[in-house]
Structure 1
Amino acid sequence: MSIEKSKASEKIVIIDYGAGNIQSIKFALERLGYTGVLSSDAEEIKSADKVIFPGVGEASSAMKKLKSTGLDTLIPQLKQPVLGICLGMQLMCNWSEEGDTEGLGIFDVDVIHFEKTLKVPHIGWNRIKELKSDIFEGIAEQEFVYLVHSFYAPVCSETIAKCDYGVNYSSALQKNNFYGVQFHPEKSSEAGEKILKNFLKI
């Protein structure tokens, strides 16, 4: 099977729950030769080869949207590779200080606010380091990625990459088939596209 046919046959579902960065993810997938399907339908999500769980917004309101469609119980049960991006990653954690929000409990860590002495949101380019997963294959230590966030997941046993903004924190997490990145791969230039491509090859 050719690479093109393989890409065409891959079903990639982007979970549609009103998150703000869906179109930029779709465009990033298209640049890599893939097509992403937007869906909130449980059966379609379960039938996907890969699932992307995006997120730009506020944790408590986003979780309410997930609960209203039953996605809060579906997502932790998924068996295929799942990639949470930014707020998507944070919602995959146990709890978020933002809106005192109970998360999906996939990653065993709580999300907390940056110290008051730091300018928030942490916005712009920063370096990732101590890379520990296949999704970082071909990515150099201290590579730049693009971030926009005021809350973070501390370093824990599921940390697969770190970033430094006043404190070392988790810029990426992994547990079994679940991956999460705090940065936006769809906005992180060639490095971000490479990370997305690595995820799609899993």
Structure 2
Amino acid sequence: MPTLLSAEYIALVDRGVSTIVASRDTQLRPSVMRAVGARISTNGQRITVFLRRSQSRQLLADIATTGHIAVVFSDPPSHRTVQVKATAAVQRAVLPADEPALQSYLSAMQHAVAQVGYGPQYTAAMLNAPRDDLVAVEFSPEAAFDQTPGPHAGEPLRKERQPRTCRHPALHPRLPGGRDSCHHGHLRPRRHAQRGLHLTGGLRR
């Protein structure tokens, strides 16, 4: 299955960076709030952000109504930034199993923000979140954009395809050391024939 986020962007989100969550209502009026935690699956296909309910009532209402969500992840020291969007976000209660992710996010943000001149107390206050005030929002990214300041800001990210596994390993010539040489060359004659081409590139007459 194609992966929307590259390993580089998955690592960016996973290490804990500034996270801003937005949505909109049915009249296209925006709502926005800073998340106090975030988590991403190892394959990048599922993201969870944590919001304070008392600070995010309009945002959570808009997500509940429309399912739409846009999240910007930005590294404070480098400004490396990616934005992801989805149309089927869901909300759930925060669970005890979420605690390690919340603690890890706080520690990572304290480290990142310290690099731009603000101490850990500042970040702890900014991300202070009584657990009974938290809600988790989960979604699978459907679109992603490079938002790092510069000439490529705003460009959509292309899906990364997983390495293809050949179904005919017995046909592969072996290289020294036992390495596999398959580049699916044994499939090309059939494809060319189907397109009406000889292997020389000439047209079938």
Fold-level similarity (TM above 0.5): no
- Tell me: higher relative CO, structure 1 or 2? Use CA pairs within 8 A at least 6 residues apart: 2
TM-score calculated relative to the size of structure 1: 0.22
Give me the TM-score of the superposition, normalised by structure 2: 0.22
Larger strand proportion of the pair? 1
CA radius of gyration, larger in: 2
